[in-house]
Amino acid sequence: MRCVVANWKMNLLFPEASNFCSTFAENYNPVEDVRVAIAPPSILLWTIHSQLRGRGITTFAQNGHFEPKGAFTGEVSMAQIRDAGCSGVILGHSERRQQFGETDEVLAKKVAAAQSHKLLPLLCIGETLVEREREQTFSVIKTQLSVLKGVSSGPIWVAYEPIWAIGTGRTADGRQIHEAHHFIREELRVLLGEAGSSVPILYGGSVKASNFGSILSVPQVSGALVGGASMDPLAFAEMVKTAQEA
Ligand code: 13P
């Protein structure tokens, strides 16, 4: 199975998002083995879900709270995300870890909450440039993955997003991606047993239509989590086609 996920972050207004859906849908033909998901800002979730329903494209939220409901102003629960038509939720994006103080402890609760609401967690992991230069990449990834210890009772996807490659135009090279994905696969097998062999591992960080084919050819890469380039419907459609033809 291959997976292509658009992370729009805090971008696009309703008319732009709506145009994206029409243009993308016109240029997209679903294929069974390639999963396509759009993660818009939560305020657009229902709209996007309604526009894309029945077209083989699912929606993911970009974050969710672990508590089922209550006095958490500004937060959205997993039940509400599910209610808005989503099939998954991005968790632990580096922007949430760095700018909103999300810890592994909180993420363990979020993964469990997502799974208990039948949402697919897409757990993001990855090192900073300083950590890479200090040769701490594997230990950082290992710690971030340890949130899956004992909580994973259902399907999960993982995205390896080296922070230095996000929004910088600088992708990790094939060897760096292969080493990281190979390490993640081994860790997933340790943490999840046999189920760890089939968890899709996506790459993220300056993926675009022109480099996606070569990234996808790296062993253990199941797809991509795309930021900036995912807001152009034709570029995103081209990336999906690349995954379908790989
Ligand atoms: P860019 O594709 O803009 O580098 O963003 C990657 C990302 O953070 C996706 O979650």
Ligand 1 centroid distance, CA of 71 (Å): 31
Report helix angle 174-192 to 209-216, nearest 10. 60
Q: Which token pair is 242?
A: 């690349």
- Residue 71: the pLDDT is 98
Q: Which token pair is 23?
A: 């243009």
Q: With a cut of 90, say whether residue 171 has pLDDT above it.
A: no
Q: Which token pair is 100?
A: 């909103």
Among this protein's residues, is 187 annotated catalytic? no
**pTM listed for this prediction:** 0.97
Region 7-23 average pLDDT: 97
- Residue 242: the pLDDT is 97
Among this protein's residues, is 93 annotated catalytic? yes
Q: With a cut of 90, say whether residue 169 has pLDDT above it.
A: no
Q: With a cut of 80, say whether residue 150 has pLDDT above it.
A: no
Q: Does ligand 1 lie within 6 Å of residue 206's CB atom?
A: yes
Please give the Cα distance from 113 to 183 (Å, whole number): 26
- Residue 152: the pLDDT is 62
**Average pLDDT of the chain?**
95
Cα separations in angstroms, 93 against 8, 53, 71, 229: 12, 26, 24, 17
- CA 97 to chain CA centroid, Å, is 14
The overall longest dimension of the chain from CA atoms, in Å, is 47
- Residue 101: the pLDDT is 96
In terms of CATH, what superfamily is 2-245?
A: Aldolase class I (3.20.20.70)
